[in-house]
Chain A
């Protein structure tokens, strides 16, 4: 598998708290993408970070990428109940955008 962590992780927090989700990957990649999947829906991209970027921000989101340790993180500040979802990191390989997803983190934000 491309990913180091194979099990779906679960986190439960209170609204307003900050949260950080981590993933590690085994094979070389130039890009890590983070997707969010809400119940009954398809994944939606949140943020894309390239290997020449150590950090990327978008609103309440912050992604980091450490190519030396082959790991990435996604932080959400001031969580809302609507952030409840499964969060996946994904790497891509080849010329035709084959995305490989990690096992994901199930985040529950309680109001």
Chain B
């Protein structure tokens, strides 16, 4: 079935550094999402993105966070600077349409901020 690829699978960085998480969504999908999951807890919505713009974002999507998809390439989540509480697994997802439809998730990038 359709696959969302996330690169890298694990990233370890020092607090205060910048990190970029990459997502290769399903090729014909138009809507893109980032979710955050702390170990053993529920998935928490961060942001959705459509037509080159952020449509909605949660309180977890701090000012240090940004997303973009330049020229239809990777959909990226950048955190600058990172904080200890940013340690989590970040999941990218995509969907063909908006509005109450299935999301396809990647396997996640585990971010460890030291």
Contacts and interface: CB of A to CB of B under 8 A. Distances in A.
B28 interface: no
Interface of A: 8, 30-31, 33, 40-45, 48, 50, 88, 92, 94-104
Nearest to B1: A44
Nearest to A6: B42
User: What class of interface size applies to chain B in its complex with A?
Assistant: 20 to 34
A50 B99 CA distance: 12
Contact of A104 (B33, B42, B55, B103): B42
Nearest to A45: B102
A97 B107 contact: no
A97 B40 contact: no
A94 B56 contact: yes
Given A97-B31, A97-B95, A44 B105 contact: yes
Contacts of A95: 55, 98-99
Given A43-B91, A44-B105, A97-B100, A103 B48 contact: no
Nearest to A31: B100
